[in-house]
Amino acid sequence: MGLVTLLKRRIWEKGIWPFPVDVPPVIEDLNVCDAYRAWAPTYAAETATSFLDEELAQEMLGGLPQTRLLDAGCGIGRRIQDIPTAVGIDLSPEMLAQGDARNVVAGDIRKMPFKSNRFDMVWCRLVLGHLSDPLLAYREIFRVCMPGGYVFVTDFHPDAVAAGHRRTLTDGAGIVHGIEHYVHINHIQLAAEAGLDLIASRDGLVSPSIRDFYLRGIGLKAYERDIDLKLVAAFLFRKPDARGTALV
């Protein structure tokens, strides 16, 4: 999320920015609510990170039920707008107002206004990194997921942070903002503590599928530098069924 704008700033700082620039981009850190309020008008544009997130979803979720789908932290709802039975929740009313999804509500994923055991699939995609302690969210996701249902979680990868990348946005005025983000290396442990069983995990890497994002942004050299860097971590969990088992 915001990878291209961050890399542009890093290249400018290293003195190899390829075009004349009078003033470098400014990064101002924002909390989650202020960040997504500022980002909402331009959020619909795909980023390298969101593209990898969708790739992982397509690879890992094929054939799984989603007749009662919840997108927890749905943003503008672009992933569910064409799924009539899907429901979305997001903390930002401004984000929801920018989308075309119908069954959406503003709210906190740590305290959702849904009955227990309601959804056969719960997505929580590129959201939990905004929480200092995701355990409450995992417990709430467990509560609303039906027995035998699935939970799909993605996060900005710790390796990307270690390599110097941040979650950022560029607002309508062209100002680059850092978004409140916390590194979590214990998603599997947190999910297990909430009662979920791990089914699979995968990483989304800098690879040819996102090469064009680099070429439209800061060029081939940056792409070659970052090739095989892990940008997105993905996890598929299942809530044990009524017998206490989580079958693949």
pLDDT digits (tens, 9 = 90+) for 215-239: 987 689 989 999 999 999 999 999 9
Distance CA 165, CA 158 (A): 10
The count of C-alpha atoms lying within 13 angstroms of the C-alpha of 61, restricted to the half-sphere facing its C-beta, is: 25
- pLDDT tens digits, one per residue of 34-82: 999 999 998 998 889 999 999 999 999 999 999 999 999 999 999 999 9
Give the pLDDT band (50/70/90) at residue 244: low
Residue ranges of the domains in the chain?
1-63+153-240, 66-119
Give the integer Cα–Cα distance in Å for 125 and 73: 7
Answer for the pair 158, 183: CB distance below 8 angstroms, yes or no.
Answer: yes
- Give 120-166 pLDDT, tens digit per residue: 999 999 999 999 999 999 999 999 999 999 999 999 999 999 998 88
